[in-house]
A = this chain, B = another copy of it.
Amino acid sequence: MSNFSYLPLLRFRESIFRQDIISSLKNFIHISCRFSQGKKCDYRSRRENYFKKKNRERLSVYLYNMASPQIEEAKLAPLRSAVKEYGDLIRTLKESGAPKADINLAVLELKARKKKLEESELALVPRDVTFFDRLKFEDLLKQRFFFDQSFAIYGGVTGLYDFGPMGCAMKTNMINLWRRHFVLEENMLEVDCSILTPEAVLKASGHVERFLDWMVKDLTTGECFRADHLIKNFAEKVCQDKKTSADLKEELMDVIAKLEGFNDADMHDVIRKYKIKSPVTGNELSEPIAFNLMFPTVIGPTGDFKAFLRPETAQGIFVNFKRLLEFNQGKLPFAAAQIGSGFRNEISPRQGLLRLREFTMCEIEHFVDPSDKSHPKFENIKNYEVLLLSSCSQMDGMPAQIVFIGDAVAKKMIANETLAYYMARVHKYLVRVGVDPKRLRFRQHLSNEMAHYACDCWDAEILTSYGWIECVGVADRACYDLLQHSKATGEKLLAEKVLDKPKIVQVVEVVPNKAAIGKVYKTEAKQIFATLEQLTVDKVEVLEQELNSIGKTKLHCSDKEVILDRGHVAVKRYEKKVHTEEFYPSVIEPSFGIGRIMYSVLEHSFRQREGDEQRLYFALQPIVAPIKCSILPISANSRFKLIMAAVRSELAKYSVSYKQDDSSGSLGRRYARTDAIGIPFAITIDFESEVEPWTVTLRYSVTMDQVRLKVSDVGKIVADLSSEVMSWNEVQQVYPKFEQKCAA
């Protein structure tokens, strides 16, 4: 259900890093425009700069150093104190019990100020370091079919993407590693539940009521627009107009900054005030209308069994809680996990893999006793370092800090050990798949960003050319979901624990006179006994009152009402010593968007060979690379065929994927081709290979270093490199370096 909290955040962030945004601040990331003209030299040299390792490192250092407030203190200090002013105001308002509306208004202003601060921070990074050629990047992904728009030959559908062979393999590898890193290493219970979900389930979870966006309709054509997008586009356009007055500009910039926090009435006010019309037809627009973001469907032929495609996988775990607890022999804590598709009927999706209508999620629900959220393996990650942007820092206008996880819990920045344990594990996973740790931070939700039931929530955010994108949410959801499903179904989704020492409790219960009831109600008696047994204390007390006052009581039993009098039932009160206690478990939920992580990894690993702008490639971690190695004979010499067959058979023995390229191109060209699809290792068969025992060279795409090794070793070595059992450095220490004589 992290969805709820994702939405406003995303909308917020969407507005930040676009070239067309009106702001006196320089943009952080400069994206090459498809139809840009002139200044080719400048463009080229900027792109070249981006690809230089030295510059990549400068970027990282810059970003990382922002965590230390010494940097550019002078420029940022006024912005920081502007934020802090409102942070303090909000604290005061809360303490003095001010009305919620006032607090919300202050939060709106706080966020606008935070945004300006963040833009300024990023703007301090020198331009030449951060230039990212998204056009070239996207072209390469498309051309090598990592992914592309679905149903393109039918005109395509926005928000739907198909993964080609490279994207699909990379995604599978990321998921397999996720399974190893979480399900296997943490002994989780993985489940696989239905996508089709009955309406009743999503009513209980709150999605039917609250999983919404606001849209406006063209009153003549019926065309729909997302209200916040419409306002933002309008405001940006007006601000760009040179004829617009400085005052109006100021006003509209303020609208843009606060838009994220607007409700439907606020947006309607803006639309009316500025007389915003349909950007397509110029027609009048409707008021903002709530649009539920779930895809509706019906199950079965009658048309009255309403259902939705699940907006998240989490609910499948909650409705199976009882079975899972039983599977775990009734013991807490335990974690369940699910990997699968989620769906969200966006009004007008943009930004490729970052905003999809159909996406792959990995979710964990860790069930724990709310009175003890310690974690048995916390010791292992205490000294793990992460970059944290706490809610306090956000209120104070302070930058993110590099913190040991253990210290963050000790200082109560992170609410509890289990939450912190997962944050460390999430961080480690992201780095393993190839996210640059310097461009990765955890940002805590402000109290008004969190779902109302959550205790604490941190988003793992990754810096990309679209800005800081949240890719994983880690939330303590308390017992909200289990409670909701319990209420909706009458099933008690409780766990039980043995008390340290037995407890005396007051019991109030109805004792039926079974013979008397049986005589009157015959076959219904059994149902009546069951109903009486399930009465809550409140209801028993009502019953007792009625018996005492009017001598009889009504009981709802299945669909009927039965009358019981003092001869049928009596109310008994007594003390009982209990050794166990039932409770609703709390849930800690890490929720991953695989598409977003994959996109970020691809951005972070996009490279160009120095001095050759044609040779673009992906420096992927071997463990996620779609194909692990290529087989390249140095020439089409038929004598190589036997050696190639031996190499293939060695690779097959260890289930290593490979791509053979024995086409006639030069070796350098074939290297470039395999680099472009992120293949980390190339096995080359050359004229030396024929000397017995047969050998080949093995090249690592990132460093272009090569070693020579026996054919009989190559399968195991590439398998070990690809599963993180061995590193390239270790391989270089074992095998002799090979100096290439021919191609680059």
Which residues of A are in contact with B by a Cβ distance under 8 Å?
144-145, 148, 150-154, 157, 159-165, 167-169, 171-172, 176, 179-180, 184-185, 189-198, 200-201, 215, 222-224, 291, 295-302, 305, 309, 316, 319-320, 322-324, 326-327, 329, 336, 341, 343, 345-348, 357-358, 485, 488-489, 491, 493, 652, 655, 657, 663
Contact = CB atoms under 8 A, between A and B. Distances in A.
A489 B153 contact: yes
B300 A347 contact: yes
A168 B192 contact: yes
Given A161-B194, A299-B357, 14 more contacts: A150-B316, A151-B194, A160-B194, A162-B191, A162-B320, A163-B192, A164-B191, A164-B323, A165-B324, A196-B295, A196-B357, A224-B301, A298-B345, A300-B348
A645 to B, nearest CB: 13
A301 B347 contact: yes
A165 B327 contact: yes
A345 B300 contact: yes
B168 A190 contact: yes
Contacts of A184: 655, 657
B154 A200 contact: yes
The quantity of this chain's copies bound in the complex is 2
20 contacts: A153-B493, A157-B196, A157-B299, A160-B194, A162-B192, A162-B194, A163-B191, A163-B192, A164-B189, A164-B191, A164-B324, A165-B324, A169-B190, A185-B652, A196-B295, A215-B301, A295-B299, A297-B297, A300-B348, A301-B345
B157 A198 contact: yes
Contacts of A153: 319, 322, 485, 489, 491, 493
Contact of A179 (B160, B167, B172, B179): B172
A164 B297 contact: no
A657 B189 CA distance: 12
Most chain-B CB neighbours within 10 Å: which of A160, A161, A176, A488? A160
A538 B273 CA distance: 60
A716 to B, nearest CB: 12
Nearest to A188: B165
Contacts of A160: 194, 196
Contacts of A663: 329
A145 to B, nearest CB: 5
A301 B291 contact: yes
A663 to B, nearest CB: 8
Contacts of A296: 297-298
A324 B152 CA distance: 13
A154 B315 CA distance: 12
Q: Please provide the 7 A-B residue pairs with the shortest distance between their CB atoms, ordered closest to farther.
A: A163-B192, A224-B301, A165-B189, A162-B193, A150-B194, A168-B192, A160-B194
Most chain-B CB neighbours within 10 Å: which of A151, A184, A224? A151
Given A184-B657, A323-B148, A345-B300, A489 B192 contact: no
Contacts of A159: 299
Nearest to A149: B194
Nearest to A485: B153
Given A224-B302, A295-B297, A655-B180, A195 B341 contact: yes
Contacts of A300: 224, 345-348
Contacts of A345: 298-301
Nearest to A162: B193
Contacts of A191: 162-165, 168
A118 B309 CA distance: 42
Contacts of A341: 195, 341
Contacts of A164: 189, 191, 320, 323-324, 327
A632 to B, nearest CB: 15
A168 B338 CA distance: 9
Contacts of A195: 195, 341, 358
